[in-house]
Amino acid sequence: MAAEHDDLSRRAVFKQAAVGGVGLVAGSVLTGAGGDQASAAVEQVAAKDEWLAERASFLSGNRLLKTSGDGSMPPRTLARGIYRPRSSQEIADLIRSLPAKTPVASVCGGHESSNAAMFASSEAIVLDMVHLTSIEFRKDGDRVLVTVGAGVVFRELVEAVKLQHGALPVGTGPGVGVVGYIVNGGLSGYFSRRLGLLGQCVESLTVVTAAGDIRVLAPGEELFTAMLGAGSALGIVVDVTLRMEPESVVKHAEQRVVSFRTRKEAVEFARGALRIQREHVLPDDSVSMEVVVSGAKVVVVTFVFYDTFRGSVADFVTPLEELAARLNLPVAMASHWSSWYQTAAALWPVITAMKGSPLAMLQHCLGTEGPPDDRILDFICNTVIARAPLDEATFSIVEIRTLGGAAASQGKIPSGNCHHQFFVDLITLYDAKNKTVEERQAIADLTTRIIDEARHVDGLAVDFSGTHSQPDDVGLAPSPPMIFGTEAMAKTVQRLKKNVDPENRFRFHPFAKFL
């Protein structure tokens, strides 16, 4: 009965998100602490364990396997000191004051899936960017630019951009750090086909180097490009300036929440939905489609229609509704959004409701550079969706997105996300509080078996996204060309790493072992 109650509660959250979508957040942060006034001493965190518990949105499911027999949670940061700077000058002064080989980690939103920066090492310091929350807009001819501090999270940025009637290809999670997302090549399932990756919208970066120098990087510089996928291994980003688009780039969005009772029903509905995605959406860059199979026993399908769309919305939505009717699956919710903001904020209640003590996560991605063939769709349905630990780890999802479009046609950055049109996310997510060590191990093993089988499917890429791959899996590490997009881009990043950080101070990038 408890599990049934949890499912009903989570469906209610899906309903709230689907029906509401707007006005979900009271207040916004438009400006905050910042400026370049050096202070006598950088604020330091005294209670490190409390800091970790507050700032870590989740813990790596791999880390939570290393626990005591009674299931208690021993993970704690190893960093010798945690600092909260308020300016680039404070960061530069602090870097210069330390021995040249002292490792430095940077924490923006606390969502990196292996927790490498937060846990750091015993000789390292951590810079928590929580005070760098300024968001400033300015006109540059016909363009509108927004400069975002390294402590800003997406909820704050979306609220600020809404007031400016703008749009950006933002991430879905309201608490994800904007800068951390950018410097690891993050994608937007709703907006990247029209606006590209958020890193492709960057006009400049303010960076503190390993030597303690403050630099402003601009397009045309090799280091500028490298920062947009390997940034946390190359420097400390203080702020980033983005090119904003008008809110009118999103014309309309439709979401349908379809309930299922058995995994077999979920598989068959997803199979039909993915055929609609392949045959009708992937060839048309003016629309995106996302299919999410959830442990809450719902499949959430979202269509986003851009300003370039000239067709009929019904041509996309009606076949999906007919598919649900043929399978005798109820459409529990139907939502209609008419703005970029409504679309960007729609899933905030769902994501915010996912809590744990701690929340454990394992994340992997699969994809193809072109439309997937029947063999790959069958694998996604019959293996990934059919066997994902949605029952054992009830916050888990299988998320299938359309990419390509502007993300593929705009200037390439060091991210495999630029090169894939069909994107599948397997996110294993659960509250670890009431799970034994054995249960956590079983969940991790089930996830690993699925990903291991995926590596043997011809034409299916595995773990090519810096923001959607698990860096701390033993024996399953992706290759540098996959994470950074191409072999040439990986070699460029590796060369720059040696030049700008010869002592490897910035060693807590999720995939630092490549560098």
The residues near 5 (Cβ < 8 Å, ≥ 6 apart) are none
* Residue 76 included in any domain: no
13 pLDDT higher than 70:
no
Residue-wise pLDDT tens digits, 202-236? 999 999 999 999 999 999 999 999 999 999 999 99
* Residue 43 included in any domain: no
Residue-wise pLDDT tens digits, 101-152? 999 999 987 667 778 888 899 999 999 999 999 999 999 999 999 999 999 9
* Residue 241 included in any domain: yes
Per-residue pLDDT band for 511 (boundaries 50, 70, 90) equals confident
pLDDT at 10: 43
* Residue 215 included in any domain: yes
Share of the chain above pLDDT 90, in %: 78
32 pLDDT higher than 80:
no
pLDDT at 474: 77
Residue-wise pLDDT tens digits, 250-305? 999 999 999 999 999 999 999 999 999 999 999 999 999 999 999 999 999 999 99
Per-residue pLDDT band for 74 (boundaries 50, 70, 90) equals low
pLDDT at 67: 59
51 pLDDT higher than 70:
yes
CA distances from 498 to 207, 501, 506 (A): 17, 6, 11
Quote the number of domains for the chain.
1
* DSSP-derived 3-state class of residue 412: coil
pLDDT at 253: 98
Give the closest residue to 384 by CA, choosing from 407, 364, 368.
364
Q: Which two tokens stand for residue 261?
A: 């009772």
User: Which one of 2-16, 61-75, 100-114 scores highest in mean pLDDT?
Assistant: 100-114
pLDDT at 1: 43
416 pLDDT higher than 90:
yes
Give the closest residue to 281 by CA, choosing from 189, 412, 364, 397.
189
* Residue 222 included in any domain: yes
331 pLDDT higher than 60:
yes
**CATH value at residue 198:** 3.30.465.10
16 pLDDT higher than 50:
no
433 pLDDT higher than 50:
yes
pLDDT at 71: 46
* Residue 143 included in any domain: yes
182 pLDDT higher than 90:
yes
Per-residue pLDDT band for 15 (boundaries 50, 70, 90) equals very low
* Residue 173 included in any domain: yes
- Please give the residue range of the domain that contains residue 148: 135-247+486-493
pTM over 0.85: yes
* Residue 180 included in any domain: yes
4 pLDDT higher than 60:
no
Per-residue pLDDT band for 475 (boundaries 50, 70, 90) equals confident
Alpha-carbon gap, residue 160 to 502, rounded angstroms: 38
Query: What are the residue ranges of helices labelled H in 37-108?
Result: 48-55, 88-97
Handedness of CA 268, 273, 274, 279 (dihedral sign): positive
pLDDT at 28: 26
27 pLDDT higher than 50:
no
